[in-house]
Structure 1
Amino acid sequence: MGNSNTQLQAVSDELVIGNFTQKHLDIIKSTIAKGTSNEQLQLFIQTCVRTGLDPFLNQIYCIVYNTRDHGPTMSIQIAVEGIVALAKKHPQYKGFIASEVKQEDEFEIDMVTGEPKHRITSMNRGQTVGAYCVAYREGAPNIAVIITRDQVEHLLKGRNSQMWKDYFDDMIVKHAIKRAFKRQYGIEVSEDEFGAAAPSSEERSYERRDITEEVDKATVNQTTVPADESQDEASRLKALKDQVKRNYVKLGLTDPEAMGAHMQQFCKVKGEKPTAAELTAYLKIMEMQIQEKQAAESADDELPI
């Protein structure tokens, strides 16, 4: 029995493709790439291996959604962490600077030299009006990118609308970084990130595990948010969103884009914003994924008999 378990452990730890073992592939299939077909999973893994990007570090991820003409479709996207990781491999990599700019800031930039002057003169900085990134490269001109608020307003209504509303400063800065690195190093990024038109209501019907109808709309599971009949809808929604954020941490999702991708894949939203029932269903899925993740981590910690 002991030899059998040891053999199984050895097979599980054996590299299957790149640096991925079968155990890694199983975890990716059930979490990061949930909903992919075997062929789509293979394409995603091959892309990870070819680019050297690590899905466990939120550098690369995929979204599966339904399209009217082609059925379930997978979109592979590179997060900012992945963009920076790829650029750092370049022998002429020299770093970058990036920041949001607010109404009360003093800001100017020479687009020819790519040298910004950004002064924060007050802690009461006002609303964010834009962001910038300057990507440096040894032996090449600096590349400066400016993103103004009006250029990304349409993204507040797109696929990642909730993430843009909740983490606007982070998202607009990441947007500037992606543009700058794409121009400086020729790193290609999914065009979904650069203002693609919002999908139709039919295309927004993502391949998610739909358990909304299984949840009593008047009740919130006690393992997530305590039910309280006296709560108004706004307070209830806030409590649900707070729990979603805590669950992101438990799932190891710290990047707003990765959070947005996860919500798109597993939260069935029929309207423009998620309802309490939809968030409750989403929390149910997250709880199951957290349990799977904890079980996988426990398995990794177990010593072979």
Structure 2
Amino acid sequence: MANNNNQLPTLTPEISEHFKPEVLKVIRNSIAPTANDQEFLLFAHKAASYGLDPFKNEIFFIKYGQTARIQFAAEAYLSKAREKDGFQPPDTQMVHENDEFQIAMNKETKEMEVVKHEIGFPRGKIIGAYSIAYRDGHRPVTVIMDIDEIAHMFTGQNKDNWKKWTQDMFGKHVQQRALKKQYGLEFDDETITYGQEEGVPEYQPRERKDITPNQEPINQPEPEEKPEDNVVALRKQMKQKFNQIGVKDNDGVNEYLKKNNVKLSQPATESELIGLIELLDMHIDMQEAQAQASDDELPE
């Protein structure tokens, strides 16, 4: 089914009831411009069924080459929790290295609780976070996390945002877990993959940029490009990507290649390495999304 952003596919009753046609066109053109008809239909249906607002970043559509992903954001949990009986705003706090902070086991509930949190200045670096989800008629649910538990966020694809907005990102992460437990919220992320037989996403050459300084002579010959240098750099980048997903030896690499039906020449070509790196980037993104989305609940 071709993607024509000027026309909408046949809509489900839920979509028609929840979104006006003009709003759907804006969502398609601005929120999910890369979606084909079926992907957009599924995205809009999930947003409508759960009563989520794409414009408030409660639900996202993400496309990685041959894979599309519908992801629910932390804001979705807070939005739906507000609709539940007995809702009370959660208390989410950062713990800094100079804070006085204590947790203890509640003898009655057998759950860990924050018993002391006092702050002074300077507070020092963030070392942890907690969120207490309150609800009338229910015991508070407390989720406590050490910053080491989300260390992978600072080296992944979204690392810049995590480093720049640590308090906001960490707070939403831990709050989402607490709200999920307290209000029984469950959203099902959706992943749609096409062309599994190809294994590696098709390589699209990137646009070359002219970086020659203006003061250089126009007729100056370009330095000769050494393919072997590119391959060495790509191999180094590939190894870093494998480390990010926890693959650290040759057996693990071979297992990953076999599982994803990736076939490399001996030695691998530049385009094959670029395609593999793009596939690894996709899995790194998904790994991070899963860590921050609904299926990352702490063990009981």
TM-score, normalised to structure 1, is 0.55
Instruction: Give the superposition deviation at 1:82.
Output: 1.5
2:154 aligned partner, one-letter code: L
Q: Is the 8 A contact 1:102 1:126 kept in 2?
A: yes
Residue aligning to 1:99? 93
Instruction: Give the superposition deviation at 1:169.
Output: 1.6
Instruction: Measure, in 1, the Cα distance between the counterparts of 2:93 and 2:199.
Output: 34
Instruction: Give the superposition deviation at 1:109.
Output: 3.1
Q: Is the 8 A contact 2:141 2:182 kept in 1?
A: yes
Residue aligning to 1:139? 137
Q: Show CA shifts across 1:258-302 (max 9, x none).
A: xxxxxxxxxxxx79xxxxxxxxxxxxxxxxxxxxxxxxxxxxxxx
Q: Which has the greater radius of gyration?
A: 2
Q: Work out the number of aligned pairs and report it.
A: 192
Structure 2 residue 156 is matched with structure 1 residue 162:
no
Counterparts of 1:155-194 in structure 2, within 5 Å, are 155-189=153-187
Range with bigger deviation, 85-94 or 151-160: 151-160
Structure 2 residue 76 is matched with structure 1 residue 109:
no
Residue aligning to 2:26? 27
Residue aligning to 2:117? 118
In percent, how many aligned pairs have the same letter? 33
Instruction: Measure, in 2, the Cα distance between the counterparts of 1:57 and 1:111.
Output: 37
Structure 2 residue 52 is matched with structure 1 residue 58:
no
Q: Is the 8 A contact 1:64 1:75 kept in 2?
A: yes
Instruction: Give the superposition deviation at 1:95.
Output: 2.2
Residue aligning to 2:268? none
Cα separation, partners in 2 of 1:16 and 1:108, compared to 1, 3 Å: closer
Cα separation, partners in 2 of 1:171 and 1:49, compared to 1, 3 Å: same
Q: What secondary structure sits across from 2:89 in the alignment?
A: strand
* Ranges in structure 2 where 5+ consecutive residues have no aligned partner: 1-13, 191-197, 214-276, 279-300
Structure 2 residue 150 is matched with structure 1 residue 152:
yes
Residue aligning to 2:256? none
Q: What secondary structure sits across from 1:94 in the alignment?
A: coil
Q: Is the 8 A contact 2:31 2:60 kept in 1?
A: yes
Q: Is the 8 A contact 2:81 2:87 kept in 1?
A: yes
1:85 aligned partner, one-letter code: S
Counterparts of 1:192-231 in structure 2, within 5 Å, are 213=207, 215-217=209-211
Instruction: Give the superposition deviation at 1:183.
Output: 1.2
Q: Which runs of 4+ in 1 moved over 6 A?
A: 202-207
Instruction: Measure, in 2, the Cα distance between the counterparts of 1:204 and 1:160.
Output: 22
Instruction: Give the superposition deviation at 1:30.
Output: 2.0
Instruction: Measure, in 2, the Cα distance between the counterparts of 1:216 and 1:45.
Output: 41
Instruction: Measure, in 2, the Cα distance between the counterparts of 1:86 and 1:46.
Output: 17
Instruction: Give the superposition deviation at 1:215.
Output: 4.7
Q: What secondary structure sits across from 1:30 in the alignment?
A: helix
Instruction: Measure, in 2, the Cα distance between the counterparts of 1:164 and 1:204.
Output: 28
Instruction: Give the superposition deviation at 1:42.
Output: 0.7
Q: Is the 8 A contact 1:156 1:164 kept in 2?
A: yes
Q: Show CA shifts across 1:97-127 (max 9, x none).
A: 00111111112234537455322111x2111
Q: Is the 8 A contact 1:107 1:117 kept in 2?
A: yes
Q: Show CA shifts across 1:123-142 (max 9, x none).
A: x2111101100001222211
Instruction: Measure, in 1, the Cα distance between the counterparts of 2:61 and 2:48.
Output: 14
Residue aligning to 1:40? 39
Instruction: Measure, in 2, the Cα distance between the counterparts of 1:143 and 1:95.
Output: 12
Residue aligning to 1:84? 78
2:29 aligned partner, one-letter code: S
Instruction: Measure, in 1, the Cα distance between the counterparts of 2:165 and 2:200.
Output: 21
TM-score, normalised to structure 2, is 0.56
1:152 aligned partner, one-letter code: I
Instruction: Measure, in 1, the Cα distance between the counterparts of 2:183 and 2:49.
Output: 17
CA RMSD of aligned residues (A): 3.4
Q: What secondary structure sits across from 2:34 in the alignment?
A: coil
Range with bigger deviation, 166-175 or 104-113: 104-113
Cα separation, partners in 2 of 1:87 and 1:147, compared to 1, 3 Å: same
Q: Is the 8 A contact 1:16 1:22 kept in 2?
A: no
Cα separation, partners in 2 of 1:28 and 1:205, compared to 1, 3 Å: farther
Residue aligning to 2:16? 17
* Ranges in structure 1 where 5+ consecutive residues have no aligned partner: 1-14, 67-71, 193-201, 220-269, 272-305
